Chain A
Amino acid sequence: MTWINVLLQGVLLGGFYALLACGLSLMFGVMRIINLAHGDIAVVGAYLVWVIVNQTSISPFLAALIVLPVMWIAGYAMYVLLLERSRRAGQLVPLLTTFGLAIVIENVLLQVFSPDVHSLGSTAGGLATASATFGGVSISALGSLTFGTAVIVLAALQLFLSRTNAGREMRATAQDPDAAQLVGINARAVYARATAIAVAIAALGGIFLAIRSTFDPSTGPTQLIFAFEAVVIGGFGSPWGTLLGGVVLGVAQVVGEQINPQYAILFGHLVFLAVLASPRGGILARRAGEA
């Protein structure tokens, strides 16, 4: 029974990682940009919700309804003002730009909010600690909510990409931006839209992070690593791959934790390394080289 429990906790944790990772995967898939500021953007989302909750004492989920559109717009602006210019300068430049952006975000957060550690857990109305037990297997309410949200977000993204006109345009632009423009697609707008979606979902991930755990200005890079590992394990490109990658990472960490609490992160890294070293990791390397 313990191991079923462990597996289940791992799967639920995986939903959280998938939520963090899917924006990263989208940006890489559509425009071959690895956004090194992704984790910090998630933390910005957490801080914005924290500020609203502190000022108005509304539920963090209500606050998220305000924050997500704001982050969507911020993402759009981030592409138009920062990434587009750096894309024109070459393949490596966007990587450096997002690295710089990560440093700027962390230091601005440090200036504005001080290095104090915060959490939204206590504001979520007992949700963070509630759980149900079925025959010895305990399921946390927050874990289920996170996982459910991740599945809904990824399914919505999948539907958007496969069924809507804007999604088709995004896939076409990802496959051949030059040809896409020749059939009348505004590639710049498509890229800006993809960045906007990625940033908004990252912020959503950050909000769940803030409810389930704690955050401070330097939390971002760790979250980036988890998100990156989930994306690599699942294989770049497909939303369901990202969910699978998140779940594998989550289960690895929880199994490691079961063996020794210090092993949690280590086990996640080991699975990541194993995937990188496998032939699938090779496929990934080739795809990155083609870009």
Chain B
Amino acid sequence: MRSIDAQFGLLKAVRRVSLTVEAGETRALIGANGAGKTTLLRTIAGAHRPTGGSIVFDGTDVTRVPVHRRVEMGIALVPEGRRLFPGLSVEENLSVAGGHRRGGYWTVERVLELFPILQERRRHRAATLSGGEQQATAIGRALMCNPRLILLDEVSLGLAPRAVAGVYESLRTLVSGGTTVVLVEQDLSRALSVASRVTCLLHGEVVLEGVASELTREQVIAAYFGTYGATAVGATS
């Protein structure tokens, strides 16, 4: 079993947030723009240095561990805006991450099987791909690290509805394979349908946390916009 305790004293972006994610769980982080979701994900991945608090991954304190070492330990982030290497081909984008894999299930071929749309684009430069293809490549690139925890930041942003459906379809495959997922999602109904638990952030603080199926839409919306009041269910602040 594995858990992550994250406590941050980041000024403004994320304030003393505690978050525990169990192995195999799918957690959705929701909240309005500027609530601190992206900062929280980037801090877990190690791309952002917390000013206070600690991050524990699988029993190990990783707070001071640099990004690339955390990848080796099994944490991978699909960053906001995808951030592919534009001059590298799809295949190179995947294999450049594969070079650091801890060994495991995912290989270039298996990623291309998961995303058949990439199959014929494998030799094309990432810059020439459509949004959906880029997103698939970005997720595939994170998978190549064979993560035990995958962090997804706004994977549906800027995608056509059909492409979003495709991305979520592949997410379900991942979850059923036992990978722990933490995702940031603007689309509430999508977030609630895919996640087992939901954490809502507001101004850098947790205002609501609970099992996705037990929360009502009204509760979530109230927390989302900060009209929920001080007695939030399971809230930690």
Residues of A within 8 A of B (CB): 165, 168-169, 171-172, 175-176, 178-187
Q: Contact: A182 with B76, CB < 8 Å?
A: yes
* Interchain nearest-CB distance for A246 vs B (Å): 23
Q: Contact: B72 with A184, CB < 8 Å?
A: yes
The chain B residue sitting closest to A166, CB to CB, is: B99
Q: Contact: B47 with A182, CB < 8 Å?
A: yes
In the complex, number of A-B residue pairs with CB atoms less than 8 Å apart? 71
Query: Is the C-beta of B34 less than 8 angstroms from some C-beta in chain A?
Result: no
Q: Contact: A181 with B96, CB < 8 Å?
A: no
Docked pose: A178 CA to B45 CA in angstroms: 11
B47 is contacted by which of A171, A175, A178 (Cβ under 8 Å)?
A178
Q: Contact: A171 with B71, CB < 8 Å?
A: no
* Interchain nearest-CB distance for B76 vs A (Å): 7
Q: Contact: A185 with B88, CB < 8 Å?
A: no
* Interchain nearest-CB distance for B81 vs A (Å): 10
Which chain B residues lie closer than 8 Å to A168 at the CB level?
Answer: 88, 92, 95-96, 99
Docked pose: A186 CA to B100 CA in angstroms: 10
Q: 16 more A-B contacts (CB under 8 A) besides A175-B85, A186-B66?
A: A165-B95, A165-B96, A168-B99, A171-B92, A172-B93, A175-B86, A175-B88, A176-B85, A178-B83, A181-B47, A181-B67, A182-B47, A182-B79, A182-B83, A183-B142, A183-B145
Docked pose: A259 CA to B143 CA in angstroms: 63
The 4 closest A-B pairs by CB, nearest first: A184-B100, A184-B71, A183-B97, A179-B83
Q: Contact: B83 with A171, CB < 8 Å?
A: no
Docked pose: A179 CA to B77 CA in angstroms: 9
The chain A residue sitting closest to B100, CB to CB, is: A184
Query: Is the C-beta of B144 less than 8 angstroms from some C-beta in chain A?
Result: yes
Which chain B residues lie closer than 8 Å to A187 at the CB level?
Answer: 68
* Interchain nearest-CB distance for B108 vs A (Å): 12
Which chain A residues lie closer than 8 Å to B45 at the CB level?
Answer: 182
Query: Is the C-beta of B15 less than 8 angstroms from some C-beta in chain A?
Result: no
The chain B residue sitting closest to A175, CB to CB, is: B85
Which chain A residues lie closer than 8 Å to B79 at the CB level?
Answer: 178-179, 182
Query: Is the C-beta of B84 less than 8 angstroms from some C-beta in chain A?
Result: yes
Which chain B residues lie closer than 8 Å to A175 at the CB level?
Answer: 85-88
Docked pose: A146 CA to B141 CA in angstroms: 42
* Interchain nearest-CB distance for A238 vs B (Å): 11
Which chain A residues lie closer than 8 Å to B88 at the CB level?
Answer: 168, 171-172, 175
Which chain A residues lie closer than 8 Å to B86 at the CB level?
Answer: 175
Which chain A residues lie closer than 8 Å to B66 at the CB level?
Answer: 181, 186
B77 is contacted by which of A165, A171, A182 (Cβ under 8 Å)?
A182
- Given A181-B67, A182-B67, A186-B68; A171-B145 close (CB under 8 Å): no
Number of interface residues of B (CB under 8 A): 28
Q: Contact: A169 with B85, CB < 8 Å?
A: no
Q: Contact: B71 with A179, CB < 8 Å?
A: no
* Interchain nearest-CB distance for A240 vs B (Å): 16
* Interchain nearest-CB distance for B106 vs A (Å): 12
The chain B residue sitting closest to A168, CB to CB, is: B96
Q: Contact: A183 with B144, CB < 8 Å?
A: yes
* Interchain nearest-CB distance for A179 vs B (Å): 4
Q: Contact: A185 with B85, CB < 8 Å?
A: no
Which chain A residues lie closer than 8 Å to B87 at the CB level?
Answer: 171, 175
Which chain A residues lie closer than 8 Å to B145 at the CB level?
Answer: 183-184
Docked pose: A142 CA to B90 CA in angstroms: 43
Docked pose: A178 CA to B144 CA in angstroms: 17
Q: Contact: A169 with B67, CB < 8 Å?
A: no
Docked pose: A179 CA to B68 CA in angstroms: 10
Which chain B residues lie closer than 8 Å to A185 at the CB level?
Answer: 68, 96, 99-100
The chain A residue sitting closest to B87, CB to CB, is: A175
Which chain A residues lie closer than 8 Å to B72 at the CB level?
Answer: 184
Docked pose: A179 CA to B96 CA in angstroms: 11
Which chain B residues lie closer than 8 Å to A169 at the CB level?
Answer: 96, 99
Q: Contact: A172 with B76, CB < 8 Å?
A: no
A179 is contacted by which of B85, B92, B95, B100 (Cβ under 8 Å)?
B85
Docked pose: A14 CA to B219 CA in angstroms: 72
Within 8 A of A (CB), among B90-116: 92-93, 95-97, 99-101
Docked pose: A182 CA to B92 CA in angstroms: 15
Residue with the highest number of chain B CB atoms closer than 10 Å, among A171, A178, A184, A187 = A184
* Interchain nearest-CB distance for B143 vs A (Å): 10
Docked pose: A176 CA to B145 CA in angstroms: 17
Which chain A residues lie closer than 8 Å to B77 at the CB level?
Answer: 182
Docked pose: A186 CA to B47 CA in angstroms: 13
Which chain A residues lie closer than 8 Å to B99 at the CB level?
Answer: 165, 168-169, 184-185
Q: Contact: A172 with B96, CB < 8 Å?
A: yes
Which chain A residues lie closer than 8 Å to B67 at the CB level?
Answer: 181-182
